[in-house]
């Protein structure tokens, strides 16, 4: 199977995988912060490397990235990305802080730890629903968090793909809190051989792809 010639049925299957996984993750997020969370239709992004850094609005934009290794029957990565404002708003909601703190854009250790944990819960609910859908055993690593340029953070999954081909495949879902205080992106980045396993388990024929 090659990323360059995926047909539209397969793309739809990937979207649906993203939908089921991130649907559960959105529900989890909504119940943690007790706010309504909207979720966009998942996007399947197939990009050349030189465009990877642009997908979050520019390679230099500071973001919080929470990264997981996905292990077990399928391998890959899960990456949860928040822009800095969203990350600050999210921890403020979580810790029930007043809005006066809003000018304070510094994230402290406690905040980082809370963000890692939120990422952990989202990633776990994502893979749990994938796992019950496919019957595959999936495990995630402990979270690793980094605040840095979007391009630098996205280079990590891009390099994984770089070993196999010249394009990257991200299944991306955007979350939005009701008042638009928190906007985040959740990426599922499976290795290409793992796709075959998912498709076989779902009974989808991938033909000559």
Minimum Å gap between C-beta 163 and another protein is 6
CA 60 and chain centroid, separation: 19
- 59 sits near another protein (criterion: CB under 8 A): yes
Q: Say how many residues make up the chain.
A: 209
Site string for another protein, 112-141 (x = CB under 8 A): -----------------------------x
* CA–CA dist 137, 71 (Å, integer): 8
* CA nearest neighbour of 71 among 199, 200, 201, 191: 191
Buried b (16+ CB within 10 A) or exposed e, 169-191: bbbbbbbbbeeebbbbbbbbbbb
- 72 sits near another protein (criterion: CB under 8 A): no
Minimum Å gap between C-beta 62 and another protein is 5
Phi, psi of 166 (to 5 degrees): -115, 15
- 88 sits near another protein (criterion: CB under 8 A): no
Chosen residue from 41, 159, 179, 180 binding another protein by CB under 8 A: 159
- 166 sits near another protein (criterion: CB under 8 A): yes
1 to 40, contacts with another protein by CB under 8 A? none
**Tokens in use for 95?**
């810790």
The contact set with another protein (CB under 8 A) reads 48-53, 58-60, 62, 65, 67, 69, 141-142, 144-156, 158-160, 162-166
């Amino acid at each position: 199977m090659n990323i360059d010639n995926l047909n539209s049925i397969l793309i739809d299957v990937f979207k649906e995988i993203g939908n089921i996984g991130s649907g559960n993750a959105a529900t989890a997020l909504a119940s943690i912060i007790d706010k309504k969370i909207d979720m966009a239709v998942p996007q399947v992004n197939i990009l050349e490397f030189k465009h990877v850094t642009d997908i979050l609005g520019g390679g230099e934009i500071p973001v919080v990235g929470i990264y997981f290794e996905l292990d077990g029957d399928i391998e890959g990565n899960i990456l949860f990305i928040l822009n800095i404002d969203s990350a600050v708003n999210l921890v403020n909601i979580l810790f029930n802080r007043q809005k006066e703190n809003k000018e304070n854009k510094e994230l402290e250790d406690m905040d980082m730890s809370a963000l890692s944990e939120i990422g952990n819960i989202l990633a776990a609910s994502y893979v749990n629903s994938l796992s019950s859908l496919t019957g595959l055993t999936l495990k995630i690593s402990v979270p690793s968090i980094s605040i840095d340029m979007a391009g630098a953070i996205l280079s990590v999954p891009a390099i994984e793909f770089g070993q196999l081909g010249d394009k990257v495949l991200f299944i991306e879902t955007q979350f939005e809190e009701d008042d638009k205080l928190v906007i985040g992106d959740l990426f599922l980045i499976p290795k290409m051989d793992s796709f075959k396993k998912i498709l076989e388990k779902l009974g989808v024929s991938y033909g000559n792809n």
